[in-house]
Amino acid sequence: MGALDGIKVIDLTRVLGGPFGTQWLGDHGADVIKIEPPHGDDVRAWGPPFDEEAGAASYFLGVNRNKRGAALDLRMDEGREVLLRLLETADVLIENFKPGGMEKWGLGYEEVLKVRFPRLIHCRISGFGADGPHGGLPGYDAVVQAQAGMMSVNGPEGGPATRLGIPIVDIGTGMAAAFGIAMALYERSHSGRGQFIDMTLYDTAVSLLFPHAANYFLSGKHPTITGNTHSNLSPYDVFPTKTCKVFIAGGNDTQFRKICETIGREDLIDDPRFRKNKDRLVNKHALRAEFGPSMAEWDGEDLAAALMRTGAPAGPVLETHEVVAHPHTRHREMTVDIDGFRTLGNPIKMSRTPPKAARLRPPRFGQDTRAVLAEAGYSETEIENLIASGAALDKLQA
């Protein structure tokens, strides 16, 4: 049993944020039915690399496991009628059309879905929401990183504002959407009523602007780009060694002392420039210069292990191929294999209802359309008619 066994999710999302969130729901047992438009999810073509057998790029495959795949043309009355039929037995509808898109099709929450399906949870993911100065505008991860201040605090120290290398706004919004859906399901177990969840990339990005916003609220000082160093802690930086770079994070005075003892620089412990964190923060460049020669003599893996044994957090700067091959990654089941398809695991480890990330491969376009329609009560003749009309699809249209 998964924690969400018995929950049916109709997933109309495309690209990254929504699919990331619904993948986590599927990992934990929800029956996620991914409904694609006639041309398919855009990211099926975001490659190379491509998996020709799966009919999609890695970008699609990485966020669409544990879902069944169907396709509808919601521009057609017949396609919208199929969606409404599916919602009769659904718990959740999640979509990321521009605000007003569902209303344009006669599928708005307040006017239609709330009335017809009072227990339905409808989650909409958009760039900025439906109203406000940016209401209705499109949102993309990198653009929102810029608008929400993330780029202004990221990059090499003293260098230009830089996009984060991970699409953290999309991923964070997907996580938040999954959390919101779980909360709404819990609340529904008491009230018996569904509700609308208004998720935006912008709100999520602003909520993640930590600790920079907190620092600004208290000090009134504008945050600056600090590179690998920390605006509130020192030492907190990458240090070169004989073999690799190591990130060392001294979160308190005890850890600073342990670092000094490990590398043979006990003389720095009582140096007035470094006695307390506030002192080290002011003199962080001087501290780096003092640490540098001693750390350069170490093997990076050995240094990180020695520091960790003392309780001082440290770790080598690994590349992707090293991470996915690491014994601890495998031990934590953070890479999984689904019939020869390799992907990342789910981090939410529950004792009685663990995730089942290795359940279903990402679906080929429309592979489950006929089965989903049959479950909804359509006869074989009706299914053939829907596919012939183009309202439902079981293969990608040229």
Q: What DSSP assignment string belongs to 349-378?
A: --SSS---TTS-PPPPTTTTHHHHHHHTT-
Q: Label each residue of 53-101 as H, E or C.
A: CCCEEHHHHCCCCCCEEEEECCCCHHHHHHHHHHHCCCCEEEECCCCCH
Quick one: which of 211, 252, 223 has its CA closest to 235?
Answer: 252
Q: What is the DSSP string of 8-66?
A: EEEE---SSHHHHHHHHHHHTT-EEEEEE-TT--GGGGS-SSEETTTTEEHHHHTT--S
The pLDDT of residue 159:
94
Q: What is the pTM of this model?
A: 0.94
Q: What are the pLDDT digits (tens) for 250-270?
A: 989 999 999 999 999 999 999
Dihedral sign from CA coordinates of 322, 325, 330, 335: positive
How confident is the prediction along the chain (398 residues), in pLDDT tens digits per residue? 899 999 999 999 999 999 999 999 999 999 999 999 999 999 999 999 999 888 899 999 999 999 999 999 999 999 999 999 999 999 999 999 999 999 999 999 999 999 999 999 999 999 999 999 999 999 999 999 999 999 999 999 989 999 999 999 999 999 999 999 999 999 999 999 999 999 999 999 999 999 999 999 999 999 999 999 999 999 999 999 999 999 999 989 999 999 999 999 999 999 999 999 999 999 999 999 999 999 999 999 999 999 999 999 999 999 999 999 999 999 999 999 999 999 999 999 999 999 998 899 999 999 999 999 999 999 999 999 999 999 999 988 75
Quick one: which of 69, 71, 70, 62 has its CA closest to 23?
Answer: 62
Structure-token pair, residue 116: 């017809």
Instruction: Give the count of beta carbons closer than 10 Å to the beta carbon of residue 228.
Output: 13
Give how far Cα 322 sits from Cα of 253, 303, 330, Å: 32, 18, 12
Can you list the domains of the chain with their CATH numbers?
8-208+333-393 (3.40.50.10540), 236-240+245-316 (3.30.1540.10)
The pLDDT of residue 357:
86
Question: Among all chains, which residue has been given the structure tokens 């057998």?
Answer: 53
The pLDDT of residue 192:
98
Give how far Cα 341 sits from Cα of 67, 187, 189, 209, Å: 14, 36, 36, 35
Q: What are the pLDDT digits (tens) for 26-70?
A: 999 999 999 999 999 999 999 999 998 888 999 999 999 999 999
Give how far Cα 314 sits from Cα of 234, 277, 298, Å: 13, 18, 13
Quick one: which of 172, 166, 185, 173 has its CA closest to 28?
Answer: 185
Share of the chain above pLDDT 90, in %: 97
Helix (H, G, I), strand (E, B) or coil at 246: strand
The pLDDT of residue 398:
55
Helix (H, G, I), strand (E, B) or coil at 334: coil
Rounded Cα distance, 164 and 144, in Å: 11
CA 338 to the chain's CA centroid: 21
Q: What is the DSSP string of 226-244?
A: -TTS-SS-SSEEEEE-SSS
Who's near 290: CB < 8 A, 6+ residues apart? 265, 268
196 pairs with which residues across the strands?
122
Who's near 140: CB < 8 A, 6+ residues apart? 127
Annotated active-site residue 170? The verdict is yes
Is residue 341 within 8 Å of residue 330, measured between CB atoms? no
Q: Which of 27, 41, 91, 170 is catalytic?
A: 170
What one-character DSSP code corresponds to residue 112? I
